[in-house]
Amino acid sequence: MTTMANTDGPRSAPRRGRSKAVRRLVITLVVLLALLVAADFGAAAVFEHEVSKRAKAQFELAENPSVKVGGFSFLAQMVSGEYDSVTVDARGVPVQDKLRDVEVHADLRGIEAPLSDLVSGTLKQVPVREVEGQVRIKAADVNRALQNEQSGGALASITNLTIDPVAKELVNTAPADGGETDLDSAETADDEGSTAGVRLCGTVEIAGLSTELCVFSIISLEAGLISIDGQRLELRNTAGTTRLPPAIEGTVLDLFSQDLPTGQLPFNVTPTAVTVQSGVLTVKGKAQDVLLGGS
């Protein structure tokens, strides 16, 4: 008689042992990964705080701005002492007595902050290879500036002011016989440059009717200013499109022709372009080889 050996018993123990070892290894790796992620976030938070303090002094802000480090693995960047990108955002920045809610945004690329200086707390100035800065003025601030200039005039009650980009050719293209031009439905932003087209629209009471008032303007970039030059006016209400006498239209356009202070761009970046987006006027500029925390 042939007896067959039962091989199930001897094999089961090693398999169970290997399975437990694999589980322990996986758990260990997960724990290590979690610790690395926590350390990465913690180190990034410390660095962001240090940059925020210096940006606060540089922007002359009342509170620390928001700072976010980009790039993969902050710890790897920290060891090398070079950081791919950092964004800085400050909101609610007042400019002179005219604007109250300006937004300041900066993209920093190629930041050098040696680990030894960061750890010892001796980091005073941070070299940055390239900075792209922006100052954004929102519709509410533009509306407030317009009302302040009107000093209780007929248009001081304008509400729901909106900002939209339009091609510069549309600004000077008047509709025929009170109708709409072919371009009126095309809100196309101009290429970035020192001038741009903008349509400012708001609601105002005229002769007892709620009327949409739109001023088509050219904005231009000047030293520390966005200059708004009203060129054309459109009025629409339930009675149709309204035309104002030339003298009154000229007065309204003058009211909308304003110089808005922008303040300084981050890190003394030189303004090079003005753009229009829905709800926002933006001044942009770039700079090379600047010092964060430097004078």
Task: Name the range with the highest mean pLDDT among 85-94, 109-118, 272-281.
Answer: 272-281
| SS3 assignment, position 124 | coil
- Please indicate, yes or no, if residue 19 is contained in any of the structural domains: no
Q: Full-prediction pTM beyond 0.75?
A: no
The DSSP letter of residue 191 is P
Query: pLDDT tens for residues 166-190?
Result: 988 888 876 555 455 444 445 566 7
- Please indicate, yes or no, if residue 167 is contained in any of the structural domains: yes
| SS3 assignment, position 86 | strand
Q: What is the mean pLDDT of the chain?
A: 76
- Please indicate, yes or no, if residue 185 is contained in any of the structural domains: yes
Check pLDDT > 70 for residue 271.
yes
Q: How far apart are CA 118 and CA 133, in angstroms?
A: 25
Q: Which residues contact 92 (CB under 8 A, 6 or more apart)?
A: 100, 101, 102
In this predicted structure, what is the pLDDT of residue 228?
92
Domain boundaries, position 210: 139-261
Q: How far apart are CA 103 and CA 252, in angstroms?
A: 28
Average pLDDT over residues 84-105: 84
Check pLDDT > 70 for residue 43.
no
Number of domains in the chain: 1
Give the dihedral of Cα atoms 153, 156, 158, 163; nearest 10 deg.
110
Q: Which amino acid is at 71?
A: G
Beta-bridged to residue 212, according to DSSP, are 203, 236
Confidence of residue 147 (pLDDT cuts 50, 70, 90): confident
- Please indicate, yes or no, if residue 10 is contained in any of the structural domains: no
Confidence of residue 112 (pLDDT cuts 50, 70, 90): confident
Check pLDDT > 60 for residue 3.
no
Q: How far apart are CA 33 and CA 141, in angstroms?
A: 47
Confidence of residue 280 (pLDDT cuts 50, 70, 90): very high
- Please indicate, yes or no, if residue 213 is contained in any of the structural domains: yes
Check pLDDT > 70 for residue 92.
yes
Q: Which residues contact 218 (CB under 8 A, 6 or more apart)?
A: 168, 171, 195, 196, 197, 198, 228, 229, 231
Query: pLDDT tens for residues 233-257?
Result: 888 876 667 677 778 788 888 888 8
Query: pLDDT tens for residues 132-145?
Result: 888 899 998 888 88
- Please indicate, yes or no, if residue 198 is contained in any of the structural domains: yes
Residue (of 182, 185, 154) closest to 254 by Cα position:
154
- Please indicate, yes or no, if residue 131 is contained in any of the structural domains: no
Query: pLDDT tens for residues 55-84?
Result: 777 666 777 888 888 776 777 777 777 888
Confidence of residue 11 (pLDDT cuts 50, 70, 90): low
Average pLDDT over residues 75-97: 81
Tell me the H-state helices in 85-181: 115-120, 139-150, 168-171
Check pLDDT > 70 for residue 15.
no
Token duo for residue 137: 């003025």
Check pLDDT > 80 for residue 263.
no
pLDDT above 90 covers what percent of the chain? 12
- Please indicate, yes or no, if residue 250 is contained in any of the structural domains: yes
